[in-house]
A and B are shown apart, each in its own frame.
Chain A
C-alpha cells in the first residue's frame, strides 16, 4: 500500500503554507513575535544544518561508511565547543558593523569589493550542488512513495514547489534586515517537525521491525559483522577530514552564518546554542543506524540506501508520508535560508559591478535580490537535472562543505592576524577554489582528473579517500595566503579595518559630511537625486530628525541611521562609501551630541546666561548625575547610550567618551549582557551578578526603570559595585559564627561542668567507701546529675538540628493544645495558678507535640518566675489572620538591658543549676519552623509577656 500521490502533494503544500502563515503571524503579532526572539528558538533554528542529508542521506552514508556519518555532527559539536573563542568574535564583528554575510566580513576586513565578489561567486558555485541535493532527495523520495522510478517530471513538480516556497517566503525577508523573528520561529518549528518525524519513524521501526531494544540487540548479536561494518570505518582516513570540514561548515555555510550571526536575537543566544544544537543533532541522528539496518533487510536490490528511511516503514503509508514530509520540510528550510543568504552576497557584490550605473542601484537592488533568490533555486534545479544519478547525497553535500572550508584561513586572518592582506586572501582563495573545482567538484560531473601522482608525493596512497584532497588543497591555500600576505603591504584602509576587527571597542574620529547639503550631495553623486532624497528622508524619519538637521549631533545621528539602513541593503562597504567616503568608521552621534551639549553649557556659562535659573538647574543636575555614588547609564528610545556617569566609569574602567552615543549592544561584556538582561525585566527589577573580569571578580547589583517618552521609551540602569559589601557581609557572618561557637562552648562547659563535678565527687566517695549505707542515695544523685547532663545534650541537639529534621505539620486546634500544655505544666510544679482565657480559637498549621513543648516551657518559666499566690495567664486572640497566644506572668520581668538577649542560647536569669538557658532559644526555633514567631515584651504592670504567633487557617 502506498500513499496517494495527490494527497502527498497536497500535504506538502499544506505544510509549506503553514510555515508561511506562521511566519506572518510571528512577524505581525508582538505576542507571537516573542517566539522568534527566544534563545531556544534560535538554537532550534540553527538546526537548519540538518537537511535531507540528515533525514535520508545519513542512512545512505551509514550503509557505505558506517559511523563515519556521525563525523558530520561531531564536527558541529566541536564547533559548538569553540563558540566562546571562535563564533563569539565573529558575532561581535557582525553586530558592530552590521555585516550581513561572510562575504561582507571579507570585504570589510580586507577593504575589497573584489574579495567580496570572489567569496560570493565561490559560495554560489559551492552551494549549488547542495541545493541540488535537497531537490534530488525530495524527488527520489516522492518517486519511491508513488512506486515509480525516479523521474524528472515528478522531481520537477516538487522542485518547483520548493522553489515557489523559497521565493514566496524568501522575498518576505529579502531586505536582509537582521533579527527577523518570523524567520527564526519558522526555522525553529521546521526543526521540531523534522525531529519529531525522525523520532516517530525511528521508534516505529524499532518496535515493529526489531521488537524493541532487546530485539535489536539480539538481531545484532546474531550478525556481529553489521556492528563491525559500522564502527571500523571510524578508524579510517576519512574520519578526521569529515570532522574538520563539518567543524567549519557549522558556522561558515552561508545559511549557518546567516542564522547564527545575522539573525542572532540577543547576546546570550549563542550560549544556549552551545549545548542545545549538539543535543538536537544527537536526537535527530539516534534513529539512523536503526533505519539503516531495517532498510537493509527490507530493500530490494537496486534501491539506493539514501531512501532506506522510506523502505524501513514501507508497511505504513502514514509513517512513509511523515518521513517524506520531514524531508520536504528540511529541504524547504535549507533552500529558503541558503537562497536568502546567497542573494544578499550576489546583490551586494555582483550587482554594482555588472550594473549599468550606480544611479539605479537602490531601485534595482530590491528587485535584483528577489530575482537572485529565484535564480539560485533555478540553478540548483539545473544542477539537479545535470548531475549523474550515481552520485550519492553525501557526495553532493560534501562538495559544498569542502568549499566553505576554504573560507576559514581568511576568516581567521580577519579575526586574529593583523598582517593578513587582501592580496594574500585573494591568492589563497583562488588556489583553494581551483583545487576544489579540480579535486572535488569536477568528479561530480564525471570529469575525473588523475592526481594520484601528486597524492603519492605526499604519502597518500589511497586517492579515493576524502582526506588527501581536503588536506592538500587547504595546505596549499594556507601557504599561499600567508606567503602572499607577508610579501605584500596593507593599505591604510586595511590597517584601519584590521584594527577595528581586532579591537571592537575602538571608535574613531569621523570623516563625515559637515552639512546636510554635503551629505545629500555625496549620496546624490552615487545614486541620483531622487533616491538620495528618498533615502535621507527615510533615515531622518527613523532617527527622529527633522530635515534639515538643526546641528551637528542631529546630522551625525542621521548619518549613523542612513549608513545602517544602506548597509543592511547594499553591504557595509558600499554604504560607507556612499555616506562617509569609504572609511571604516562608525558615526558616534550621541557622543557628539553630549560633547556639543557640554560645549554649549560652557559657552552659556561664559556668557550672559551664567546666572539663568535654567542654566543653574542644568548644571546642578549634571553635577548630581556625575557625582552620584552609584553607576548610572541611560539609553534613549533607539537604545543608544546617552549617559555613562563618573561612578560607572570607575566601576567599569570604560570611558564615557567611548561609550556615549554608541548603541547599547556595543558596550563591551559584561555590561551589555547585564543591561540586555535587565532590559527584559519589568521596571524596578533588581538583579545581582558576579563577573569574572580575568584578574578580579566583581559583584554588581543592578536595577532598571523606563524613562517615559512620547513614543518609545528609554531606560535608565543603576549599577552598584557591591563586591566590598558582600565581602564584608561574608566576613561578619564568619565572625558571627565563630562568636556563636564560642558562646556555645562556654555555655556547654559551664552547664555540663557543674553536674559533672557533683558526679565526680559522689563517685569518688563511693569508690573509697563502696559499702556505705547511703550508697543507693549517692547513686541516685549520680543518676540525677547524669540525667541533667543528658537533658542539656538533648537540648543542644534540638538546637543544632533545627534546620535539618523535617517537621510534620498538621492543622491543630490552638486552644486544645494550650489546655493540654497547661495540664502538663501543672504536673511539674505547684504554686502559681494558671488562668486560661481561651475565648478565641482558630485552626493553625503546627506540630502539636512541638507546640505543646513550647507552651510547657513558657508556662514552667512563668510559674518559676512569679511569686507565690500570683497567676500565670494564657490568652488567645485573633488579629489580621494570625492567632496569638500570650503567656503572661507577674514576676519581676527581665531587666531592660537584658531583654534583647532572652532568646540567646545559654542565656538565663535563673540561679546556677536551675536552667540551661536553652529553653527559650529552642522554643523560638520550634515556632519558627511552623512559620510563626515567639516574641518577648515586658508588661507595663511588671512581669513578662511571651507571645506565640501562628498563621491561622481558614476553616
Chain B
C-alpha cells in the first residue's frame, strides 16, 4: 500500500466516523451545517490528494 492509499484509508476512517456514527449530530446544528460539513470533507479530500507522481 503506497502513501496515497494510506492517506486515503485514514481519511476514509475519519469520514466514516463523522458520517456514520452518532458523532454526526455535531454537524446537524443548523439548516446549512450539513452542507458546510460536506464541503469541508471535499476540501480535505482535495488537500490530502497527493498522488505518488506529483512532485
List residues of B (1-42) whose CB comes within 8 Å of A's CBs: 1-5, 8-9, 11-12, 15-16, 19-20, 22, 24-25, 28-31, 34-35, 38-39, 41-42
Report the Cα distance A792→B35, complex, angstroms: 59
Report the Cα distance A282→B49, complex, angstroms: 18
Given A81-B8, A240-B20, CB of A279 within 8 Å of CB of B42: yes
CB pair B41 A278 closer than 8 Å: yes
Query: How does the 8 Å CB contact mask read for B39-55 relative to A, with 1 for contact and 0 for none?
Result: 10110011001011111
Given A85-B1, A278-B42, CB of A78 within 8 Å of CB of B16: yes
* In the complex, A237 has a CB within 8 A of chain B: no
Report the Cα distance A84→B48, complex, angstroms: 12
Select which of A70, A670, A689 is within 8 A of B34 by beta carbon.
A70
Given A78-B16, A691-B52, CB of A282 within 8 Å of CB of B31: no
Report the Cα distance A634→B30, complex, angstroms: 59
Given A81-B8, A235-B28, CB of A70 within 8 Å of CB of B38: yes
List residues of A (688-710) whose CB comes within 8 Å of B's CBs: 688-694
Report the Cα distance A286→B34, complex, angstroms: 10
Report the Cα distance A690→B52, complex, angstroms: 8
Select which of A74, A220, A670 is within 8 A of B52 by beta carbon.
A670
Residue of B nearest to A230 (CB): B31
* In the complex, A231 has a CB within 8 A of chain B: yes
Given A70-B34, A282-B39, A689-B53, CB of A81 within 8 Å of CB of B45: yes
* In the complex, A274 has a CB within 8 A of chain B: yes
CB pair A289 B31 closer than 8 Å: yes
Report the Cα distance A674→B22, complex, angstroms: 43
Report the Cα distance A226→B30, complex, angstroms: 11
CB pair A220 B35 closer than 8 Å: no
CB pair B55 A286 closer than 8 Å: no
Query: How does the 8 Å CB contact mask read for A108-148 relative to B, with 1 for contact and 0 for none?
Result: 00000000000000000000000000000000000000000
Residue of A nearest to B7 (CB): A84
Could you tell me the distance in whole angstroms from the C-beta of A754 to the nearest C-beta in chain B? 49
CB pair B52 A271 closer than 8 Å: no
Contacts of A689 in B (CB 8 A): 53-55
CB pair A271 B42 closer than 8 Å: no
CB pair A688 B55 closer than 8 Å: yes
Report the Cα distance A228→B35, complex, angstroms: 16
CB pair B28 A234 closer than 8 Å: yes
Contacts of B42 in A (CB 8 A): 77, 275, 278-279, 282
Q: Chain A at the B interface: mostly helix, strand, loop or mixed?
A: helix
Could you tell me the distance in whole angstroms from the C-beta of B55 to the nearest C-beta in chain A? 5
Report the Cα distance A286→B52, complex, angstroms: 33
Report the Cα distance A501→B28, complex, angstroms: 42
Report the Cα distance A629→B55, complex, angstroms: 24
Q: Chain B at the A interface: mostly helix, strand, loop or mixed?
A: helix
Report the Cα distance A239→B25, complex, angstroms: 12
Could you tell me the distance in whole angstroms from the C-beta of B3 to the nearest C-beta in chain A? 5
Query: How does the 8 Å CB contact mask read for A918-937 relative to B, with 1 for contact and 0 for none?
Result: 00000000000000000000
Given A275-B49, A673-B53, A692-B2, CB of A81 within 8 Å of CB of B12: yes
Report the Cα distance A673→B2, complex, angstroms: 15
Contacts of B54 in A (CB 8 A): 689
Report the Cα distance A274→B45, complex, angstroms: 7
Contacts of A282 in B (CB 8 A): 35, 38-39, 42
Select which of B11, B51, B53 is within 8 A of A81 by beta carbon.
B11
CB pair A84 B53 closer than 8 Å: no
Could you tell me the distance in whole angstroms from the C-beta of A246 to the nearest C-beta in chain B? 11
Residue of A nearest to B31 (CB): A227
CB pair B2 A694 closer than 8 Å: yes
Report the Cα distance A274→B54, complex, angstroms: 15
Contacts of A279 in B (CB 8 A): 42
CB pair B52 A275 closer than 8 Å: no
Query: How does the 8 Å CB contact mask read for A79-122 relative to B, with 1 for contact and 0 for none?
Result: 01111110010000000000000000000000000000000000
Contacts of A278 in B (CB 8 A): 38, 41-42, 45
CB pair A691 B53 closer than 8 Å: yes
Contacts of A289 in B (CB 8 A): 31
CB pair A677 B53 closer than 8 Å: yes
Contacts of B22 in A (CB 8 A): 235
Report the Cα distance A218→B7, complex, angstroms: 42
Query: How does the 8 Å CB contact mask read for A54-90 relative to B, with 1 for contact and 0 for none?
Result: 0000000000000100100110011011111100100
List residues of A (235-285) whose CB comes within 8 Å of B's CBs: 235, 239-240, 243, 268, 271, 274-275, 278-279, 282
CB pair B52 A227 closer than 8 Å: no
Report the Cα distance A77→B42, complex, angstroms: 8
CB pair B5 A234 closer than 8 Å: no
Contacts of B16 in A (CB 8 A): 78
* In the complex, A525 has a CB within 8 A of chain B: no
Could you tell me the distance in whole angstroms from the C-beta of B20 to the nearest C-beta in chain A? 5
Could you tell me the distance in whole angstroms from the C-beta of A242 to the nearest C-beta in chain B? 10
Contacts of B51 in A (CB 8 A): 268, 271, 673
Report the Cα distance A693→B29, complex, angstroms: 43
Residue of B nearest to A216 (CB): B31
Could you tell me the distance in whole angstroms from the C-beta of B39 to the nearest C-beta in chain A? 6
Query: How does the 8 Å CB contact mask read for A604-627 relative to B, with 1 for contact and 0 for none?
Result: 000000000000000000000000
CB pair A670 B53 closer than 8 Å: yes
* In the complex, A315 has a CB within 8 A of chain B: no
Q: A70-B38, A227-B31, A688-B55 known; 8 other A-B pairs, CB under 8 Å?
A: A77-B38, A81-B8, A82-B12, A230-B31, A670-B52, A689-B55, A692-B3, A693-B52
Counting from the closest, the 8 A-B pairs by CB-CB distance are: A275-B46, A84-B8, A231-B28, A84-B5, A85-B5, A275-B45, A692-B3, A81-B12
- 15 examples of A-B residue contacts, CB within 8 angstroms: A73-B38, A74-B19, A81-B12, A82-B8, A88-B5, A235-B28, A239-B24, A274-B49, A278-B41, A669-B2, A670-B52, A689-B55, A691-B52, A692-B4, A693-B52
